[in-house]
Chains A and B, each alone.
Chain A
Amino acid sequence: MSKRMFKNNEDEGYGPETNGVEDTLIGSSIKIEGDLVSNGSINVEGEVVGSLKTEKRLRVGEKAKVVADVKAQEAFISGTIQGNITVGGRLELSSTARVTGDIQSATLSIAAGAIFNGKSTMQEISSIKVEKKQEEVDEE
């Protein structure tokens, strides 16, 4: 009886690592201002201004706009980025990507149609580490 409500979804399984939901999903209805640091993957479909750093995968959607320096272990860019990009592993720019800034990555793939203005350096980078600031509750 107790699993009736969730029966249809059981196959996909529960638990933190068993589905494809990103740790951070930034949609088109919000704008992030400041330094976004995450130890999980980030999926951007909206706007980010500041800096963006993840130890895992970053995906920037077609309609996303990022005005920030970006660091990630892997990145798949389909939207607009204004800022420098540092990727530990593979960086992929799809045909809709528009990048203005310098790129540093171990592997680079640029699809026909992508716009890239900047300098590219191919370099093996040891894995990207993020130092998250201690989350504190301070009464303001």
Chain B
Amino acid sequence: MYYYVYDTFLSDKKYEKVLDKIKVALLDLDIQGKHERLTLLKSIDELIKDEVKRGINTLIVLGNDKTLLRVIDTVGRHNITLGMIPIGPDNKIAECLGIPPEEAACEIIAARKIIQLDLGKANDQYFFSSLKVEKNINRVSIHKDNYRIVPQPNCVEFDIYNFYYPAVAENYEKEMKKFSPQDEKLELVIRKQGKRQGWFKKKDVLKPIDSIIQSKVFKIKSFEYLPVVLDGYKVIKTPVIVELAPCKLKMIVGKDRLKHIQ
């Protein structure tokens, strides 16, 4: 049984036509189910939990990257299949997974090609894309196997990736190519201070990559509680054990997904 969840931004009138088209396509393809529109008062986690109890086995999110990332923790806990109908801008994850936007995605849902992707786990929270620390880096140490990584003064940020996607296409970094959400590894990426580029700072300029270390487990420790941001929206505090989750994400994908996602 399918459960369709619409992100709050889709209540905007400009999306009415698109949503109608999607509903018609779902009807034609005979993949109907329960439809739910999110509001500020409804907790997405609670809604999914309730529907899982009622027996849904596939969750389809309608929205963008943020919508998808917000359901990962709950999906990871309940072992349900996840699909997506991308609407609006900021749909880079869907693009990587070969899911076309709007009503074209309905055919992908109907074809139901499911692959398994790695999930990351930070303490007891699941994440799909990355974990970031960018404050007080000099008070943090990262432990792996028998050694520890001590950031030096020129270190400004570190991320641990499970699935890499550039939020802005121009920011695609070739060093990240190796990162696959199916390699059963997490990648620690440490960035250093870039060179100053004059008075006018460009927007979204990435700090240069300094170090890359792969592992299944990292432990982040610090002298005081420091914020760690999961998937760009959830904040937890150190100390954090970051590991590859024992469960996998079952994701409906399209044919035109990236080559390294099989």
Residues on A close to B: CB < 8 A? 1-6, 8-9, 12-16, 18-19, 21-37, 40, 45-47, 50, 132-133, 135-137, 139-140
The residue among B149, B215, B256, B260 with the most chain A CB atoms within 10 A of its own CB is: B149
B190 touches A27 (CB 8 A): yes
- Kindly state the separation between the CA atoms of A25 and B191 in the bound complex, as whole angstroms: 12
Partner of B192, one of A28, A47, A132: A28
Residues of A within 8 A of B13 (CB): none
Q: Most B CB atoms within 10 A — which of A5, A47, A50?
A: A5
Digit string of B183-195 for contact with A (CB within 8 Å is 1, else 0)? 1000000111000
Contact between B217 and A29 (Cβ–Cβ < 8 Å)?
Answer: no
Q: Are the CB atoms of B146 and A37 closer together than 8 Å?
A: yes
- Measured between beta carbons, the chain B residues less than 8 angstroms from A25 are 175, 210-213
What separation, in Å, do the CA atoms of A6 and B166 have in the docked complex? Answer: 10
Pairwise interchain contact A32-B212, C-beta atoms closer than 8 A = no
Q: Are B211 and A27 in contact (CB under 8 A)?
A: yes
The residue of chain B having its C-beta at the shortest distance from the C-beta of A13 within the complex is B259
Interface band, chain B: 35 or more
6 nearest A-B residue pairs (beta carbon): A34-B147, A27-B210, A14-B260, A29-B155, A2-B256, A29-B192
- A37 and B214 CA atoms in complex are apart in Å by 12
* Complexed CA–CA distance, A135 and B260 (Å): 25
**Given known contacts A46-B152, A133-B145, is B256 in contact with A24 (CB within 8 Å)?**
no
CB distance from A59 to the nearest CB of B (A): 14
List A contacts of B95 (CB < 8 A).
Answer: 1-2, 4-5
> Can you give 25 A-B contacts (C-beta < 8 A)?
A1-B256, A2-B96, A2-B97, A6-B172, A21-B177, A21-B212, A23-B214, A27-B209, A28-B192, A29-B151, A29-B156, A29-B211, A30-B149, A30-B151, A30-B152, A31-B149, A32-B149, A33-B148, A37-B145, A37-B146, A46-B152, A133-B145, A135-B215, A137-B243, A140-B239
- Is the beta-carbon distance between B146 and A14 smaller than 8 angstroms? no
Kindly identify which residue among A4, A9, A30 contacts B177, using a CB–CB cutoff of 8 Å: A9
CB-CB < 8 A to A36: which residues of B?
Answer: 146-147
Q: Shortest beta-carbon distance, A120 to chain B, in Å?
A: 28
Proximity bits, B158-174, A CB within 8 Å = 1, else 0: 00000000100100101
Most buried by A among B92, B96, B177: B177
Minimum Cβ distance to chain B for residue A22 (Å): 7
Q: How far is the CB of B107 from chain A (nearest CB, A)?
A: 14
| Cβ of B31 under 8 Å from chain A | no
Assess whether B216 is in contact with A5, with CB atoms less than 8 Å apart.
Answer: no
Residues of A within 8 A of B190 (CB): 27, 29-30
